[in-house]
Amino acid sequence: MARHKTGKPAAALLSHNPLADIETLAAQRDEAIKNLSAPPAERVYRFDLGEFLVIQEVMTVWDDLKHRIVQESVLLLEVARLEQVDGAGIQLLCALMKEARTVGARIEWEGHSGALQESAHRMGLAAFLGFEPLRS
């Protein structure tokens, strides 16, 4: 049996279909392109804002979240336990929202806090934070 320098039998080389290789490579290319064009999986970081978002807490919260906003796709802020929010707390949330928009991340709210809604509305920042209008 004659052998080619690759060590394969000559008959195997003659029966090789180069078009099959092209079709396989094309299918692999198409799959790679599909994977590149698929949106990346969202990375969600959940953070409980606690009971008080006041000036004494703002720096601690900012330190916890400032790097996350760049690393994650979504910051999910749990607000259900919030009972008190002052101007510094609203400023912090606005700074986070602005930074999220700059880097292409999102902030989402989980739960409901009347204190947060009322403070944001009173300061005229509810729409900026993505809150619905208060009902009378």
Q: 3-state class of 15 per DSSP?
A: helix
What confidence tens digit (pLDDT) does each residue in 3-32 have? Answer: 556 666 655 556 656 666 667 767 777 777
Dist CA 100 CA 10 (whole Å): 63
pLDDT at 17: 65
Higher pLDDT, 11 or 102: 102
Ordered by start, the domain boundaries in the chain are 44-129
In the CATH hierarchy, which fold is given to the domain comprising 44-129? Transcription Regulator spoIIAA (3.30.750)
Residue 49, number of CB atoms within 10 A of its CB: 24
pLDDT at 70: 80
What confidence tens digit (pLDDT) does each residue in 71-84 have? Answer: 878 999 999 999 99
Q: Which long-range contacts (CB under 8 A, 24 or more apart) does 111-116 make?
A: 111/78, 111/79, 111/80, 111/81, 112/79, 112/80, 113/79, 113/80, 113/81, 113/82, 113/83, 113/85, 115/82, 115/83, 115/84, 115/85, 116/53, 116/79, 116/82, 116/85
Inter-residue contact 91 to 129 (CB < 8 Å): no
Q: Answer whether 0.85 is exceeded by the pTM.
A: no
Mean pLDDT along residues 83-96: 95
